[in-house]
Structure 1
């Protein structure tokens, strides 16, 4: 597990500086899709500031808190999409550079650390359920824990789901955005530029996508996700919704015994 974690950390550290620009269109599409599914997610959100009532995310002081934990937050796709309906977003990621971009973006939007801030951390270490860096009360009792397009990178997804549910308040919601089951992503390498000079190959060589070495699961089926949510204690109101282009939302309400 440690080896895979380091591969992920290294890869996303290298990707952080241009991640948002590289995937700008996809990020916008996913943001719109998330915001269209607020009712599906099932959180008692604060009103958007355009509504003129309770406001979060830089609006007037709301009458209640809605706290979001964004795990494997990256540059903050999930946080930014749902922040208008929350009072606080807390990001956690193993990539120092991703965390740096997340925080810089929040600051550039005029948000305080109390409104949106990320830290470096890992809740998936098997023998360390409460790592010291994430043990303060600030990292518990969330209304919603989200994980966007990172689940397929985890060696042990059920462990990750369980650790996130442990940080929810009773009745809190676990939301996972990831891929449905699919064949491994591949692309063709460009033909050797020396073809015709004795250095080329007869066929193009198939190679995995740049991030393939960090992927441990090629998507998840509805039955797989339901089992994971139920074993984590978030299956009481499990729901599954598939989008186009192979992206999937899974959501469950946490149950605390």
Structure 2
């Protein structure tokens, strides 16, 4: 968009802005480093086409210290991500935008820093900020599709990438790995058991995965384009729902 198009969007009442945020980190041998960013961008753009929401350029980098064990991963410090989100949104506030959706492609690891940024922006400028996370907004469809637990570069992420970016997926390199279940910690939002809030991942865990599965956790070989299509369309419809709620009363 040019500045003129942004000005016209504002004057015509298009006041919802989507900010896609992902990561650049290892996703096994079969998926590209930017997978989290690609899916966040795809969801934002497809939902915007149906609603007229504005999509900013993506924030490609997230917090990925544990994945630094494998080459190509780029991790930014939490305070950098917080400040970057604050500066992006505050710039848009200055231009007149008042409603923001941060689409998180990097699951639980990015969320604390996004929450801090959202709290700061909302309280500082009295605007509306919500965080849309696919893992939390897809519990029903993930069960319907028979997806296994949330892991890393697993059936869920691989199916999504197969549907939206098939040329970037190398299924011949995909390897499954099912780790032993942790006694008191689960990252999958679908798990109903008691769980600790958070346990940081360790680089040595990722180094071990290098030879076992290339860095994947889960069953990427069970991925399919059709599962990815249904998963993506479901998430897009939920994001459209959030956009329309913000466009209306502003309550979600």
Asked whether the two chains share a fold, i.e. TM above 0.5, the reply is no
CA radius of gyration, larger in: 1
Q: TM-score, normalized by length of structure 1?
A: 0.31
- Richer in helix (by share): 2
- Richer in strand (by share): 1
Q: TM-score, normalized by length of structure 2?
A: 0.31
